[in-house]
Amino acid sequence: MKVPFFDLVRQFDPIRKEIQSSLDELFKTQQFILGSQVGFLEKAMAEYCRIRYAVGVASGSDALFLALIALDIGPGDEVILPSFTFFATAGAVSRAGALPVFADIDPETYNLDPQDFEKRITPRTKAVIPVHLYGQCADMEAIVEISKARQISVIEDAAQALGAEYKRSSDSSARRAGQMGDIACFSFFPTKNLGAFGDAGLVASDDGELAEKVRILRVHGSHPKYYHKLIGINSRIDTIQAAILQVKLKHLETWTSERQKGAKRYELLLGDLFSSLAGAKLPETQYENRHIFNQYVIRVSERDQLRQFLQEQGVGTEIYYPVPLHLQECFSSLNYHQGDLPNSEKASREVLALPIFPELRQEEQDYVVDRIKAFYKKQ
Ligand SMILES: *Cc1c(COP(=O)(O)O)cnc(C)c1O
């Protein structure tokens, strides 16, 4: 048997007709730049995320960059972020001309460690970017509290966490990813839970002024047309992508619950084995969170051997992420060294993402589990 790491073809087939008719509407009007579907998607996304304003942009990476620029973050400013994340989180900070300051993660959730964040605050710290990695919210209560006390802006990188919820039990209305900071960034990269047919992203905020600034910045800072008070960039979400995402958003809850079922099954089938392996760990959902499992990431000390074995057996896996950002060559001038952020470094050596997409079949999942067990029998 061969089990792909993910398979977007399976997701497309059942919604082909809906997508085609949405695209036909657009093709009739030929409004490819900021056509009416962009506004419809922004409204639907704001509602889904329970955030007042949403602005569609060209990618999740641009969403982060535009959020930073809207907050007037630039040269001389420091922005704290976890070292264990996708490159874009840090790339946006450097593109804005500010200094990325890397903090360590909590080894249980792989999300920003609030204490380590607090330790790295200086008078130049202007913002923090907690990342809700793999689909589980970072410990936002602690992060927001520290940030408020020090007047630091909170930019949520919710690229992997659309629809995730934080601490569902502590009050009656659970807070969704993106609702807890000053501004939030989402990505519709094809492998995210809500994926476009190319690149696309979104910035969301309850602060109307901030959202309006992003809206202006995504059209070169032009407002009114051809008058520039700000220097922006060209970063609009394509109307084509908005037309596709509008259709796909209606299916998101179903897809998310399929991912959650898959995660439950892995836990059931792998729980005994993992509790018997030293240093091994299945994903842990903390603080009554709603984890949306953009990725299902296990931790094992013999990660590379296991990945090699699974590959030989026809099982696709991925490593998110093999090099923590503080040790990336492009940041060598920042003078971080091996050992500076031990939890991030250890995670980079030990994490392995298993197939978890909504259309993954039970017999495929059984095969993945069976092959993992076979690997440990050999050991
Ligand atoms: C995907 C992702 C991004 C960037 O989104 P793009 O749409 O690919 O530019 C940023 N941060 C994280 C954590 C991501 O996973």
Which ligand 1 atom is at minimum distance from the Cα of 188? Answer: 7
Which ligand 1 atom is at minimum distance from the Cα of 199? Answer: 7
d(CA 283, CA 286): 10
Q: Ligand 1 centre from 89 Cα, in Å? A: 7
Q: Amino acid letter at 163?
A: G
Hey, what CATH topology would domain 8-103+110-249 get? Aspartate Aminotransferase; domain 2 (3.40.640)
d(CA 64, CA 173): 27
Q: Best substitution site from 157, 197, 202, 241 to test ligand 1's pocket, by max atoms within 8 Å of Cβ?
A: 157
Residue the block writes with tokens 């964040």: 117
Which ligand 1 atom is at minimum distance from the Cα of 189? Answer: 7
Given a contact cutoff of 8 angstroms between Cβ atoms, the answer to whether 253 and 47 are in contact is no
Which ligand 1 atom is at minimum distance from the Cα of 160? Answer: 15
> Domain 252-378 class?
alpha beta
Q: Ligand 1 centre from 268 Cα, in Å? A: 30
Q: Best substitution site from 65, 84, 86 to test ligand 1's pocket, by max atoms within 8 Å of Cβ?
A: 86
What are the pocket residues of ligand 1 if the criterion is a CB atom closer than 6 Å to any ligand atom?
A: 59-61, 85-86, 88-89, 131, 157, 159-160, 187, 189, 199, 201
Query: Could you tell me where in the chain the CATH 3.90.1150.10 domains are found?
Result: 252-378
Question: What's the Rg (C-alpha) of the chain?
Answer: 21
Atom 6, ligand 1: residue with shortest CA distance: 60
One digit per residue, the tens of pLDDT, for the chain of length 379 reads: 999 999 999 999 999 999 999 999 999 999 999 999 999 999 999 999 999 999 999 999 999 999 999 999 999 999 999 999 999 999 999 999 999 999 999 999 999 999 999 999 999 999 999 999 999 999 999 999 999 999 999 999 999 999 999 998 766 668 999 999 999 999 999 999 999 999 999 999 999 999 999 999 999 999 999 999 999 999 999 999 999 999 999 999 999 999 999 999 999 999 999 999 999 999 999 988 999 999 999 999 999 999 999 999 999 999 999 999 999 999 999 999 999 999 999 999 999 999 999 999 999 999 999 999 999 998 7
Those residues with Cβ within 8 angstroms of residue 312's Cβ, 6 or more apart along the chain or in another chain: none
Q: Best substitution site from 64, 66, 189, 293 to test ligand 1's pocket, by max atoms within 8 Å of Cβ?
A: 189
Q: Amino acid letter at 32?
A: F
Which ligand 1 atom is at minimum distance from the Cα of 133? Answer: 13
Query: Could you tell me where in the chain the CATH 3.40.640.10 domains are found?
Result: 8-103+110-249
Q: Best substitution site from 87, 89, 344 to test ligand 1's pocket, by max atoms within 8 Å of Cβ?
A: 89
Atom 5, ligand 1: residue with shortest CA distance: 60
d(CA 44, CA 223): 25
Which ligand 1 atom is at minimum distance from the Cα of 192? Answer: 1
d(CA 269, CA 266): 5
